[in-house]
Structure 1
Amino acid sequence: MENKTGKYFKYAIGEIILVVIGILIALQINNWNENRKNKITEADYYCRILDDFELNERLINENYELTTNRIKLNKELIKDLNNFPNDRSTILNKFVASLRQDVFVPSTITFEDLTSSGQLKLLTDIKLKNRLIKHSTFLNNSLNQLKENRYEIVKRYTDFELITELGYQDIEYVKQELDKEHIDFLPNINWTNDPTHPIFIKFQDNLVFILGMQIRQKQHLSNLKKEIQEPIELLKNKKCK
């Protein structure tokens, strides 16, 4: 009986050891599988973020070029205004064209998905992860500054007490909706040919201010273009296809 009990005891211990080993192997396989899936997900995030960054770089370049053209148009407008005699309608239509704002809307879907879902921990490249966080902060600050610039430009555009005396009715898209009867009701002040007229002085002052805002906007875009280069290179090193 003692021999049988000893054999059963050894057999039970052996079974327990086999079960424990089986559990450890299963856990190891599960951990390996989870790590493999996390690596695949991590690589996918890197590639998607790179796609977003390369799109944003193109958008920055487009906005930079558009802003450069508006600065050029605004400088021409200051000359045109002081080239007497001039045409009020031509001046105002050029003015509206120089004010048009193309809003830079970057693609941040992937990084926002990472942060909002708590998956930022999947990024194991600490240097790159910290660089992406830094870029996100820089980008948000730049967007706020660009928004502030647009607000100031629009504010100056509408900063006239009497829109009809300014000649808003001469702007092409407004003029198309007005017939001669409507036009005859409105004042026709030739302020663009009188440099002493209060509207002329205020209009020219606003042109210079708006020019400054456009130059500032171009600087923000230039800084953003420089800032985005390093994270793009770091992401490219991940060899995304």
Structure 2
Amino acid sequence: MRVFSKQRRFYLLKKKLSTYLVYALGEIVLIVFGILFALQIANWNQDKNDQQKVQAWRIKLTAEFEQNQLAVEQAIKDLTTVTGELSAFLSLMGPEPEIAEDNKIYNYIAVYFWNPSYTPRTIVFDQFVDSGDIDLLNDLVLKDALLEWKTAIRNNQMLVESISSHQDTMAEGWQDLYRWKSSIAMTGWIKHMPESQFPFDQNALLSSPALENAVSMKLILTEMQRLNVQTAKRQQANILSLLMGG
């Protein structure tokens, strides 16, 4: 650059303006080229750092989603158990209900109030999104899959809350027919609780339209939840495949 400056001064003193302008232009071109080259190097370094950061996130996300796949399997089993038990419970109901052991009725009603759900671990995922590093993902398919999964999980949680609220409201019509104390004692959840001394009219309970309606609705909603969780399982499997393939 100093050579160009000396040459410009030399030709300027010699009053050779055209040659002076040529050297001045050359100096400007070199300066611009140098700036662009420096910016390119900086961009390369930034891209390298970003991809290293993304790779670190991939490793953490893979571990988290592997744990979620184990948890979702258990959730599906539990929800399948609930739908099966509620179906069996409904088969006993009617104007002239079948007679069953009281213990079986207690267990069916306990299942009615059991709300197994799937709540995946999202610590790493939330940090990835909240930090803004998800925008560093070049794999747009993976990015879309992650965001779609989060939406599905949020929707499923809303369904879980709806089920809990709905079942309690619908139970109001028949809960006075049920020996709550005996049911709790039968489940063994609270030790040293004796059974209720009040009579239990099984026929009145099983012939109640309110009970049939409540159990039917709980069965429908639980089946919807089971299908949602199965969808989440497939989404997670796809995400794991994308994470480990990147």
Paired position in structure 2 for 1:130: 144
Q: CA–CA distance in 1 between the matches of 2:110 and 2:149?
A: 34
Relative to structure 1, the CA distance from residue 151 to residue 36 in structure 2 (aligned partners, 3 Å threshold; closer, same or farther) is: same
Residue matched to 1:46: 58
**May I ask how many residue pairs the two structures share in their alignment?**
225
1:146 to 147, 150, 160: 160
CA contact (8 A) 2:163 2:221 kept: yes
Q: Structure 1 residues 54 and 178, CA, compared in 2 at 3 Å: closer, same or farther?
A: closer
Q: Supply the AA of the counterpart residue of 2:115.
A: Q
Pairing 1:203–2:211 present: yes
TM-score (norm 1): 0.71
Measured on the aligned residues, the alpha-carbon RMSD in Å equals 3.8
Q: Which among 206, 215, 218 is matched to residue 226 of structure 2?
A: 218
Aligned-pair identity in percent equals 18
- Contact 1:70-1:99 within 8 A present in 2 as well: no
Task: Confirm whether residue 86 of structure 1 aligns to residue 96 of structure 2.
Answer: no
Give 2:74's aligned residue: 62
Q: CA deviation at 1:104?
A: 1.2
Query: 2:125 is matched with which residue: 101, 105, 111?
Result: 111
Kindly provide the amino acid, as one letter, of the partner of residue 231 in structure 2. N
Tell me which amino acid in the other structure corresponds to 2:55: A
Shift of 1:122: 1.0
Amino acid at match of 2:215: L
Cα deviation for residue 179 of structure 1 reads: 5.3
Partner letter of residue 124 of structure 1?
A: N
Aligned to 2:199: 189
In the alignment, the residues of structure 1 paired with residue 190 and residue 139 of structure 2 have an alpha-carbon distance, to the nearest angstrom, of 59
Code of the aligned partner of 1:189: P
Per-residue CA shift, 1:107-144, capped at 9, x if unaligned? 22333223322223211222322332233223322332
Structure 1 distance, partners of 2:126, 2:63, is 14
Q: Report the CA distance shift for 1:86/1:111 in structure 2 as closer, same or farther (over 3 A).
A: closer
TM-score normalised according to structure 2 size: 0.70
Unaligned runs of 5+ in 1: none
**Greater Rg by CA:** 2
Structure with larger RCO (C-alpha < 8 A, sep 6+): 1
Structure 1 residues 99 and 237, CA, compared in 2 at 3 Å: closer, same or farther? Answer: same
Q: Distance in 2 between matches of 1:57 and 1:154?
A: 30
Q: 2:242 maps to what in 1? A: 234
Paired residue secondary structure (1:37): helix
* 1:34 is the counterpart of 2:42: no
What CA distance in whole angstroms lies between the structure 1 residues aligned with 2:100 and 2:149? Answer: 51
**CA–CA distance in structure 2, aligned partners of residues 134 and 220 of structure 1:** 13
Question: Alpha-carbon deviation of 1:59?
Answer: 2.1
Q: State the secondary structure of the residue aligned to 2:68.
A: helix
Q: Displacement of 1:27 after TM fit?
A: 4.7
Cα deviation, residue 159, structure 1: 4.6
In structure 1, distance between residues paired with 2:33 and 2:219 = 75
Alpha-carbon distance in 2 for matches of 1:237, 1:137: 23
